[in-house]
Amino acid sequence: MRSVCGHLVGALALLFGSHASAVPYPTEDQLRTAIVEVAGMLQAEGIELGILDARKEGLTRPLMAAGLSLPSGVCLIFYNTKPEDGLNQFFDALDQKDLPVILNAIAVHEASHCIEQREVYIRKRFDKVLPPDFNRDDMTIQGYLSVVKSGALVRWSEVLADIASVLYLKRAVPDQWVRLSKIIAAMRHDLAWKWPEHDTSAWLHQIIAADIGEAVNQSLFETAFQLRREFRPSE
């Protein structure tokens, strides 16, 4: 297995409720198809995509996870078809017609983790990736790793990734992005008992309400970086 910054591997399981036909847990083909969807977005950022089976690589994170391989600069996105008991109920309530775009949004979320890791480990843009209240003076890779290991940046990183998912939905399904984005926010809030550090709902509700427009020709990921710093809900 190629080297991956394991501590920054981002996991996401965006499982959404509606009142139509139930959706079974995503298959390998469905997950791989969604991941392939982000290949063009990553290529536009100068990053190649690699797709791996999480269980074959010894990872247990549910649904999808991602990390930037530092030796190669490839964004490795892992898929996991093993159902996660705490998530099955959300798939049971998901409308079948929403599944493809939802899985695409999950893949965008994962790709954003690779983008953020590049800003840190390749470009050393600590001013871009650290929260405004963190001291960035004389920050080093080792110092950043210490902050990461403390767990202080988990939610901050998840916020970026979820904002990217919302921006993707706004582009892909402009007539439904609000509905789907609210489902993402509700899911994050409802699953906070299990993954409290992944509760990004406060940011997402603000961004959805603001209905932010995007700069012409600006990278979706660059917009996500900007919005993460602009919207800082009190916690």
| Residue pLDDT, tens place only, 161-196 | 999 999 999 999 999 999 999 988 888 888 888 889
In a domain, 146, yes or no: no
Is 144 domain-assigned? no
- Is 1 part of any domain? no
User: Are residues 17 and 101 both part of a single domain?
Assistant: yes
* pLDDT higher than threshold 50 for residue 19: no
The reported pTM is 0.87
Same domain, 183 and 123: no
143 domain residue, yes or no: no
The total of structural domains in the chain comes to 2
- Statement: residue 44 has pLDDT above 80: yes
Residue 235: inside a domain: no
State yes or no: pLDDT of 1 exceeds 80: no
Question: Is-contact 85 15, C-beta < 8 A?
Answer: no
Query: Considering the domain boundaries, does residue 140 fall inside one?
Result: no
pLDDT at 35: 99
Q: Of 63, 97, 129, which closes a domain?
A: 129
11 SS3 class: strand
Confidence of residue 156 (pLDDT cuts 50, 70, 90): very high
* pLDDT the model gives residue 214: 65
Q: State the average pLDDT over residues 190-214.
A: 88
Check residue 202 and give its pLDDT.
Answer: 94
Are 27 and 118 contained in the same domain? yes
Q: Over 60: is that where the pLDDT of 113 sits?
A: yes
pLDDT classification of 54: cutoffs 50, 70, 90: very high
Average pLDDT over residues 31-53: 98
Q: Is residue 159 domain-shared with residue 117, that is, in the same domain?
A: no
- Between CA 33 and CA 84 the distance in angstroms is 20
In a domain, 69, yes or no: yes
Do 119 and 197 lie in one domain? The reply is no
Give the C-alpha separation, 75 to 68, whole Å: 5
- Contact, 87 vs 15, CB < 8 A? yes
Judge if 160 and 125 occupy the same domain: no
Residue 218 pLDDT class (50, 70, 90 cuts): confident
C-alpha distance across the termini of the chain, in Å: 39
State the pLDDT confidence band at 233, using cuts at 50, 70 and 90.
confident
Q: Is the domain of 91 the same as that of 161?
A: no
**Of 129, 164, 185, at which residue does a domain stop?**
129
Q: Let me know if residue 166 belongs to a domain.
A: yes
* Domain residue limits at 178: 153-229
Same-domain check for residues 15 and 121: yes
Higher pLDDT, 4 or 95: 95
